Amino acid sequence: MRRMAAKVNHCCIPYIIASIRDYTNCHSMRFIIALLLLTSSYVSPLNNGLALTPPMGWLSWERFRCNTDCENDPENCISEHLFKTMADLLITDGYASVGYEYINIDDCWLEKKRSLNGHLVPDKLRFPSGMKSLANYVHSRGLKFGIYEDFGNYTCAGYPGIIGHQISDANQFAEWGVDYVKLDGCYAFPEDMDKGYSDFQTVLNNTGRPMVFSCSWPVYQIYAGIQPNFSKVMEHCNMWRNFDDVQDSWASVESIIDYYGDNQDHIAQFAGPGHWNDPDMLIIGNFGLSYDQAKTQFAIWSIMAAPLLMSVDLRTIRPEFKAILQNRKIISVDQDPLGIQGRRIYKHKGIEIWSKPITPTQDLHYSYAIAFVNRRTDGTPSDIAVTLKELGLVSTHGYRVQDLYENVDYGVLHSNTKIKVKVNPSGVVMLRAEVHNHALLHIS
């Protein structure tokens, strides 16, 4: 049997873990509640057989925006060429083999006017082959194809929205071979969304083609001061936005991390297989995040069971950022079959600990992914020391602990063992603690 690889340090705990105690006490209870939820039909989430783990893929918006100038910028404009290029790179550069499968168009793919018979028309210069052809291309690569529309009169960039054309637009998507529909909420009344979004889900269902339904319904209601009915949202959407669009900066990523941490008690419980909170795209590999910050975004998004939608130029991404996006150990935390959204369990003086229950389980104990995040800016790594028990990991069989970014295996640790990590400013240390399956021997 493997002994502890790391010398565990018993000196001072720089950050006292107190608020975690409650979490520890209700640990087994949470498991039982989760089992009850699985076996009861008290709310029935959307069941279109899709997004049983958070969708993974590539989405154009954050990086490529509404660049329609193919004359002067042919390599970066929103065009069929861009999406075909990214589809090819998902395959050739290894992204598809770790799970990224959707190629998703965002805004600005349409002509400004519908056809005379009311159909949506893709921009004739930028999508000359049309959407069915592009979808075929994406499918021929073994990938899936996503499209963008808007619930209201116009898309956010001013192209035709679906209002008044819901049925024919949904049928068009199905005919084209669309696998995923993101429905934005500009130029619409948020109070209409409970009915409008749920009706559109019925319309999508009636096409007979399974399409992931990505909703912006809650965030527009929150902006309008309406408390979203998340029970209803999860009955009709595979995923939904709760908060601001991500921008290319650490400040933006931090604001999203804070939003999901601060509001977790109202939203985390609605996530599960087939229905996810969506904190927006991964901006890893762009201009705004350092290497450490990029690792932090990936770790926290995975803890949150977030859809992993890269928005980055895959032609020029640097290898260290690509390696983050292709970290299989962290992807498997995000894609864990239990689909439980993790939570921030500790926050004090710029240090945060996030935790997500994952498989395998053993005697009513979960395994966990744990992320230690350093939000401090004081220029030197911070030490965090904590026992597994203080994190709520109380199985008497112990846990096999490994680092998911560094090649460090701590072996099997007792829940009283203190674990100590050094976390870079705006960085993260991420661990996986698998509940051990037989009684611990040889641990002092």
Ligand X SMILES: *[C@@H]1O[C@H](CO)[C@@H](O)[C@H](O)[C@H]1NC(C)=O
**Positions marked active-site:** 184, 245
Nearest to 267 by CA among 344, 193, 199, 201: 344
Q: Which is nearer to ligand X, 93 or 235 (CB)?
A: 235
The CB density around residue 174, as the number of other CB atoms within 10 Å, is 17
Q: How far is the CB of 10 from ligand X (least distance, A)?
A: 51
Range in contact with ligand X (rule: CB under 6 A) among 74-82, 182-190, 275-283, 334-342: 182-190
Does position 202 interact with ligand X (CB under 6 A)? The reply is no
Q: How far is the CB of 427 from ligand X (least distance, A)?
A: 40
Does position 166 interact with ligand X (CB under 6 A)? The reply is no
Write b or e for each residue in 2-41: b if 16 or more Cβ atoms lie within 10 A of its Cβ, otherwise e: eebebeeeeeebebebeebeebbeebeeebeebeeeeeee
Q: Which is nearer to ligand X, 187 or 291 (CB)?
A: 187
Between CA 404 and CA 367, with CA 357 as vertex, the angle to 5 degrees is: 65
Does position 235 interact with ligand X (CB under 6 A)? The reply is yes
Does position 40 interact with ligand X (CB under 6 A)? The reply is no
Does position 97 interact with ligand X (CB under 6 A)? The reply is no
- CA pair distance 304, 336, nearest whole angstrom: 11
Range in contact with ligand X (rule: CB under 6 A) among 1-9, 203-211, 316-324, 375-383: 203-211
Q: Which is nearer to ligand X, 18 or 38 (CB)?
A: 38
Is the Cβ–Cβ distance between 382 and 14 less than 8 Å? Answer: yes
Range in contact with ligand X (rule: CB under 6 A) among 43-51, 118-126, 348-356, 367-375: 43-51
Does position 41 interact with ligand X (CB under 6 A)? The reply is no
Q: How far is the CB of 74 from ligand X (least distance, A)?
A: 35
Write the interaction track for ligand X spanning residues 355-394; mark x where CB under 6 A is met and - where it is not. Answer: ----------------------------------------
| Sequence-ordered strand ranges (E) for 231-349 | 239-241, 276-278, 308-310, 343-348
The counts of H helices and E strands in the chain are 14, 16
Beta bridge partners of 365: 362
Phi, psi dihedral angles at 403 (to 5 degrees): -85, 140
Residues 6+ apart with CB under 8 A from 214: 55, 146, 180, 181, 182, 183, 237, 238, 239, 240, 241, 278, 307
Expressed in percent and rounded to 5, the helix, strand and coil fractions of the chain are 30, 20, 45
Strands 382-387, 428-435: pairing kind: unpaired
Does position 205 interact with ligand X (CB under 6 A)? The reply is yes
Q: Which is nearer to ligand X, 148 or 270 (CB)?
A: 270
Range in contact with ligand X (rule: CB under 6 A) among 185-193, 214-222, 264-272, 376-384: 185-193
Binder of ligand X out of 152, 190, 218, 272 (CB under 6 A): 152
Does position 247 interact with ligand X (CB under 6 A)? The reply is no
Does position 146 interact with ligand X (CB under 6 A)? The reply is no
Range in contact with ligand X (rule: CB under 6 A) among 104-112, 186-194, 239-247, 280-288: 186-194
Give the interface size with ligand X as a residue count (CB under 6 A): 16
Phi, psi dihedral angles at 20 (to 5 degrees): -80, -20
- CA pair distance 185, 233, nearest whole angstrom: 14
Interhelix angle 131-140/80-92, rounded to 10 degrees, is: 10
Does position 237 interact with ligand X (CB under 6 A)? The reply is no
Strands 56-59, 102-104: pairing kind: parallel
What is the H or E stretch that residue 212 is in?
Answer: strand 212-215
**Which residue is it, tokens 């350092």?**
290
Does position 229 interact with ligand X (CB under 6 A)? The reply is yes
Does position 326 interact with ligand X (CB under 6 A)? The reply is no
Q: Which is nearer to ligand X, 47 or 396 (CB)?
A: 47
Does position 279 interact with ligand X (CB under 6 A)? The reply is no
Binder of ligand X out of 103, 183, 188, 282 (CB under 6 A): 188
- CA pair distance 103, 430, nearest whole angstrom: 28
Binder of ligand X out of 232, 347, 397, 420 (CB under 6 A): 232
Q: Which is nearer to ligand X, 201 or 417 (CB)?
A: 201
Range in contact with ligand X (rule: CB under 6 A) among 74-82, 96-104, 121-129, 226-234: 226-234
- CA pair distance 76, 125, nearest whole angstrom: 14
Binder of ligand X out of 208, 225, 319, 379 (CB under 6 A): 208
Does position 25 interact with ligand X (CB under 6 A)? The reply is no
Q: Which is nearer to ligand X, 36 or 43 (CB)?
A: 43
Does position 154 interact with ligand X (CB under 6 A)? The reply is no
- Per CB under 6 A, residues contacting ligand X are 47-49, 152-153, 187-189, 205, 208-210, 229, 231-232, 235
